[in-house]
Amino acid sequence: MCGIAGYSLTASSPLERTLAAQALLAGIAERGADAVGYAHRTPGEGVSVHKQRSGASALLDEITVPQSATELLVHVRDYTKGHPTVAANNHPIRHGAVIGIHNGVILNDDELLADHDCARREPGMTVDSEAIFAVAAHSEGAAEALGALRGSMATAWIDERRENSISVARGVGRPVWLGAGDDGVFFASTKLGLEVVERFLGVKLEMDELEEGTLVQLELGRETSRTRFNPDRRFEDAPLPAVRAPREAALCLKRLAVLAAAAH
């Protein structure tokens, strides 16, 4: 069980980008403590990625997102395949021009990645999530291509070939929520993650849980498309507890209150 979160904001939004990232991280901190990371992009620039092997509380104060950034990805990891001692296995993960995050398990990753010479480019990389971003990269983000992935999936990615765009998708077995507001669209693994954003940023979000087999495109703070696909359901997904690192959640929320007070 991992946690994913992020946002697509309007370029003119006055929301404090770093505080928004910290709120999202605190909101999903309970979902894993094996590794943590984030990525952001400013219009006209490449994606900047930071990740480390720790829980969210060790990163919260160190997050820095430029006020010009419009796209953000955040991840906490409770690993399955791909040991977190290998940095390349931790999220966000790059495959070609695509940088993404994932909650779930992909069972046919080796089969899907065998067709691509650019796969597993970093020594020791074995994480199954790379298959998602390979599919996204080589299909140019086509929704129907996601049906080739077998396993559980809630995911989001930035394709550096697509200016100002971020993709959020739900396959089967893992949740993802969207929250739309005046300044942009936020997403998180749980409704709680979005409620933390509301509380600490003083925004109101209209929330909905994505249906299984849905790909959403976000661009500069607005949803531009919502496409259905047929996810592969040929697997049995063992239920996992959503709360994997309760201490991380408590530490992050306590510290976030201090950071938010200082920001305001």
Looking at residue 172, its pLDDT comes to 95
Q: ω into residue 92 within 30 of 0, thus cis?
A: yes
Mean pLDDT by runs of 10 across the 264 residues of the chain is: 95 97 98 97 96 97 98 96 94 96 96 88 91 96 97 97 97 96 98 97 98 98 98 80 88 96 85
Looking at residue 115, its pLDDT comes to 83
Please, are residues 50 and 58 in contact by the beta-carbon 8 Å criterion?
A: no
Looking at residue 241, its pLDDT comes to 74
The CATH code that applies to domain 3-263 is 3.60.20.10
Nearest one of 155, 50, 142, 49 to 109, comparing CA atoms: 155
pTM of this structure: 0.97
Domain layout of the chain by residue ranges: 3-263
Give the pLDDT confidence of 77-116 residue by residue, as tens digits. 998 899 999 999 999 999 999 999 999 999 999 999 998 8
Looking at residue 198, its pLDDT comes to 98
Looking at residue 263, its pLDDT comes to 83
Give the pLDDT confidence of 216-229 residue by residue, as tens digits. 999 999 999 999 99
Looking at residue 264, its pLDDT comes to 75
